[in-house]
């Protein structure tokens, strides 16, 4: 399993941002078989973590046409800066499956 960690410093978020974020989450889950997708905001910081079965799904998601347009808007308007990390999950444990 892989995780994609997206971290950003928020810039100018508008109504289009929120609509697009909701649409992208649905597309990731329905079209690209994303296992789960979580987002959190604190102050001017945002972090999103999505989980995937393999790297090919991640590449397909990255190249989705709506996602590509959103990436451009992110660079131009929505975020002052951002970072993406793709990590391979080597271990997961805990007592509650409802956590994630």
Q: DSSP string of the chain? A: -EEEEEEEEE----HHHHHHHHHHHHHHHHHS--SEEEEEEETTEEEEEEEES-HHHHHHHHT-HHHHHHHHHIIIIIEEEEEEEEEE------S-GGG-
pLDDT value at residue 98? 59
State residue 31 phi and psi, 5-degree precision. -95, -25
pLDDT value at residue 22? 93
Confidence of residue 89 (pLDDT cuts 50, 70, 90): very high
Q: Tens digit of pLDDT for each residue in 22-78?
A: 999 999 999 999 999 999 999 999 999 999 999 999 999 999 999 999 999 999 999
Q: 2-90 has which fold?
A: Alpha-Beta Plaits (3.30.70)
Measured from the Cβ of residue 100, the count of other Cβ atoms closer than 10 Å reads 11
């Amino acid at each position: 399993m892989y995780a994609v960690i997206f971290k950003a410093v928020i810039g100018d978020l508008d109504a289009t941002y929120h609509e697009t974020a909701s649409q992208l989450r649905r597309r990731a889950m329905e079209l690209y078989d994303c296992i789960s997708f979580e987002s959190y905001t604190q102050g001017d910081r945002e972090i999103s973590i999505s989980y995937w079965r393999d790297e090919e799904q991640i590449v397909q998601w990255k190249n989705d046409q709506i996602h590509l347009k959103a990436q451009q808007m992110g660079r131009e308007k929505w975020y002052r800066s951002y970072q993406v990390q793709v990590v391979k999950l080597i271990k997961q444990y805990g007592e509650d499956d409802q956590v994630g």
